[in-house]
Amino acid sequence: MFGGIARYFSQVGLALGVRSGASRVHGAALGAGAQVRRLAGVLPAARAEIVAAAEACLQESIQRQLVAADITELKDFGASVGPLQNAGFRQVADLSRHSRGSLERYRGIGEVTAASAMKALGLFQESARAHARLLPDPDDRRVADDRLLLALARYEALVREIPPRAQEVDIRFKDANERLMALRAKTRVSQQLFSGAAREELAYTSEAIEKNLRWVEAESKGLADYAQGLTFDPAAVWKRYADNAATFIALLESVLPPKVVAKGILAGPDMRGGLPAAIADAVEATAIDLSLMTANLRRYQQFGTQYIVHQKRVLLGDDMGLGKTIQVLAAMCHLAAQGKKRFFVVAPNSVLINWEREVRKHTKLNPIVVHGFDRDDELAQWRREGGVAITTYTTLARLLEGIDKVDLLAVDEAHSVKNPAAQRTQSVKQLCGLAEYAVFMSGTALENRLEELHTLVTTVQPNIGAEVSALLRQVRPVPAEVRTQLAPVYLRRTQADVLTELPDLTETDEVIPLEPADLEAYRASPDNLMHRRMAATIGAGNLQSAKFDRLKELLEGYKEDGRKVAVFSFFRQVLNDVSASVGGCPQIHGSISAEERQLVLDRFAAQEGFGVIALQIEAGGIGINLQCAQVVILMEPQFKPSTERQAIARVRRMGQTRKVNAHRLIAKGTVDEALVLLVEIKKQVFADYAHRSSVTEASAMAIDAGSAAMAELRKAIA
């Protein structure tokens, strides 16, 4: 931004030949140059502090590992630990305070033993660094964590405040330089020019240059002083981090040297999603303009945005919680910066408000919710002014006649259009035909059958080719061939690929024996799958079932820890009972409006300490952010693994800073156990076909096991 300052400053000295006001111009140039140089160092210094603070966090984590490790662990790294133990070394940390020479002064430790010990220590430290935790953990704070978070908060504020104003400083400083050069040229001309009007012109020019330089000096000094005095309350920064860690992580990732990220300390190993090198390289070389974005992208999110822009019509299959929405918004912003203006989002009704908020929060684009009684007027406004039109699958069919062109179409929860014969699929397909760019978004591109993936891929990209269609229709496609064929249209990254910083997830299946009264109620329920499922949970009713007893025990424990808990169930009755069991708690279900749902979520997020929210899993497991919670309780197994994954991913997602516990309550000897088996089989099918950006060979065992699971399910109902 301030490039060439040294050159400008040297040229100022050449302008001293100006006879009128030369000393004042010279003084102003000296003052402006000093403050501009001071301002130019602000952001590099802030970035250097982040790097230093991050290194301090890593070193503290490494030291913790050294303290926790018994000296015998150095055996694995080639050390002879017997002499070390005899000399009194107990932990690896004891050794870290020594050099090879100081070790040799211990009785029984010779040159060879000391050399192998120090080499083993170095290897252990390398391993410890590779496994060190960089990001702060609110439940396990390190001394250096405050330094890192405060450095990131300071950098965020400086990046927001300084560049726009510093750009004006740079422009006016360059202008002063150009005027000085012109003034210098005139001083070389004959002395006759310094008479009359020429002298007055030079005096006027000198005064204007001085005034400009004084402004540059004052503005630069003001910004540099602002940066120098900028402070934050650590408690407030910790709260911001707990509420929205994603912002801090994106800033950290943008500052850290690439080699640090490449080692997996922050980002995962495969942001390319397994794409062939030719496509991935072309995607990475795609320039994107994010000037209309107000959020920072993670590196893998930038790659996803580049993929959308380069490939034009794609299925973005990233795992839940990786920020598919922000990648699509970034693509819209890039296209808007290129002169495009018509963007269209089709989404479930439950996430309309969330989409509107995300557009406002992360971009400078204008969201227009095209829904309800005013939908025709809203659509007309979108056609006139452009922006991001947001509507539901149900409403879309009523809008198609009024749409003639779309620059980018985004279809959220795109697995909703997996049935080619359904009206919503036909409507989306028709709208796709009007779009230059199209993005289908689904973390569960395949839920039950391979044909579903085929439908999504061929709908978003009808020109994918007959070869891909034929491959996806095969029972046992060749993995390498299909991976290559799908690469132009399908990108999927998992949390393990790109979010190694996510806190641990502990999943526990709670197999609960039924009490006699519960078992009697279960057997007396109608021979209907849904009745049996609910009976396995509520038993004889009155909140006295075995599952509710276990729920109360879990909630009591988490209340002591001050953790927030999200309880999911398919059944409204179960939600009501959960709420009654805790003396009343907020609920999210299919009957509340999108506006009310968002208010409930906002209030729950703002609540301090322990809290419980009950959610109907089909409504609350999709398109919402429950990052403020740390515990998930599934009151009963579900039919699809994606349903359970989505519920957990509402809590364990990018930006989560605390460890997440997930409990699945399973009534022993009931339909629950058969559903667990069925879910496990479907998990394997998903892993075989859609877990990565490729399709792998079908498993005959999975098909056979699936049939067995269905047989068990029928048996449990009977």
Range 458-461 contact pairs with CB under 8 angstroms and sequence separation of 24 or more: 459/417, 459/420, 459/425, 459/428, 459/429, 459/432, 460/313, 460/314, 460/315, 460/411, 460/414, 460/432, 460/489, 461/313, 461/314, 461/315, 461/488, 461/489
Q: Which token pair is 4?
A: 């060439």
CB 501 within 8 A of CB 266: yes
pLDDT of residue 697: 29
DSSP state of 474: S
pLDDT of residue 277: 81
- Note if the pTM is more than 0.75: no
CB 621 within 8 A of CB 413: no
CB under 8 Å to 567, separation ≥6 — which residues? 551, 575, 578, 612, 613, 614, 615, 633, 635
Please compute Rg for the chain using Cα positions: 32
Can you state the angle between helices 671-689 and 641-649, rounded to 10 degrees? 80
Q: How many CB atoms lie within 10 A of CB 504?
A: 9
Cα 516 → chain centroid: 47
pLDDT of residue 334: 97
> Mapped to the 3 state alphabet, what secondary structure does 75-91 carry?
HHHCCCHHHHHHCCCCE
pLDDT along the chain (718 residues), means of 10: 40 42 72 86 93 92 91 89 90 90 90 91 89 84 94 93 84 77 60 53 71 85 91 92 84 77 53 79 92 89 94 88 90 96 91 88 94 92 95 92 94 86 91 94 68 80 74 62 75 76 80 86 85 87 85 89 92 92 90 84 88 86 75 90 82 79 89 82 58 36 40 55
291 exposed, middle or buried (CB, 10 Å; 0-12, 13-18, 19+)?
Answer: exposed
pLDDT of residue 461: 87
Helix ranges, 188-196 (H): none
Counting DSSP H helices and E strands in the chain, the numbers are 32, 13
Q: What angle do CA 117, 122, 124 make, to 5 degrees?
A: 90
pLDDT of residue 605: 87
- The pair phi, psi for residue 382, each rounded to 5°, is -65, -40
